[in-house]
Amino acid sequence: MSSYALEILAECHDRAGFASGLESVDRYLREAARGHLEKGISVTRVLVEVGGTPPKQVVGYFTLSNIAVEAGDWPGVAKRLPKQAVSAVLLGRLAVAKAAHERGIGSMLVASARQLARETILRTGGIGMVVDAANEHVVGFYTRFGFRRVSAASLRMFLPSASLETGAAIPMG
Amino acid sequence: MKAIEKTAVRKRGRPPGAATKRINTRFPAGLAEKIEYAAAVRGVAISAFIHEAVAERADRIIEAESRWVLTRQEAATVVAMIDKPPKPIKNMLDAAKLAARHVVIRA
């Protein structure tokens, strides 16, 4: 039986009580995530304990959106990437509540985001999953899951579509 | 800062576009002086300077979340990964197994 449910952010979730220790991601959940969801900019999903009652305590969350990737005219690139924009799935933010650290929540959120990204790419196309790490420490976190930095000057990371298959499927219900 | 801004706007006219919404913010004295100096160097009103600078930064942030124009190095890295996709590593496989046991995704 599942211990946690991953739900699309809604009124019943306690956004104000979420504290990860990184103010920018806490503020995003509190102030911007609902608006971005309503405007179709991005979708935020929150992890809550199964059976919780509103306001449901959020143990972690992540935000997915589409991103257009433009390769430009770089020599040799056009063979593998068309000149026009191609789609990818962006994992813009991922955070775990301080009180829920050391329970594997971060790992489960990454795995869930990966599965949802893969499903999107299978349905509508896309070259892979892009991650924006908040800082160098977070780069280390995503590196552990196979994401690779695209340049030394950027905190942006990437994993191609073909690398998103992992076998074990997280149940949908 | 507010008084200075009002004077400047009156002197030079309103910045382009209909300014209908007010965002109240306070600036540390040092930053306010820097803004005044930079606006003077550019020869624009302080409010116009702030509008332009903030709009530019906001555009960059919003664009980074919806559009990614690859640099040469980024393009080379992305293409190399697409050409030779790395196999899912153990941590990702373990994370998927853990989530498959403990998480249900609700639509």
Full pLDDT tens readout for chain A, 173 residues:
679 999 999 999 999 999 999 999 999 999 999 999 999 999 999 999 999 999 999 999 999 999 999 987 787 676 778 878 999 999 999 999 999 988 899 999 999 999 999 999 999 999 999 999 999 999 999 999 999 999 898 999 999 999 998 878 999 98
Measured between CB atoms, does B68 come within 8 Å of chain A?
Answer: yes
Half-sphere exposure of A147 (CA within 13 A, CB side): 26
Share the mean pLDDT of chain A. Answer: 93
Task: Please give, rounded to a whole number of angstroms, the shortest distance from the CA of A99 to a CA of chain B.
Answer: 18
Q: Return the pLDDT at A78.
A: 60
ipTM associated with this complex: 0.92
| Range A4-163 has CATH code 3.40.630.30 | yes
Q: Return the pLDDT at B98.
A: 96
Number of neighbours of residue A82 by Cβ within 10 angstroms = 11
Residues whose CB is less than 8 angstroms from the CB of residue A150 and which lie 6 or more positions away in sequence, other chains included: A156, A157, A158, B70, B73, B74, B77, B78
pLDDT digits (tens, 9 = 90+) for B12-69: 444 556 778 888 889 999 999 999 999 999 999 999 999 989 988 888 888 778 899 9
Q: Where are the domains of chain A?
A: 4-163
From chain B, the residues in CB contact with A90 under 8 A are 65
pLDDT above 70: percentage of residues in chain A:
98
From chain B, the residues in CB contact with A92 under 8 A are 65
In one letter, which amino acid is B36?
Answer: E
pTM above 0.95, yes or no: no
From chain B, the residues in CB contact with A160 under 8 A are 78, 81-82, 85-86
Nearest by CB: A150 against B78, B85, B86: B78
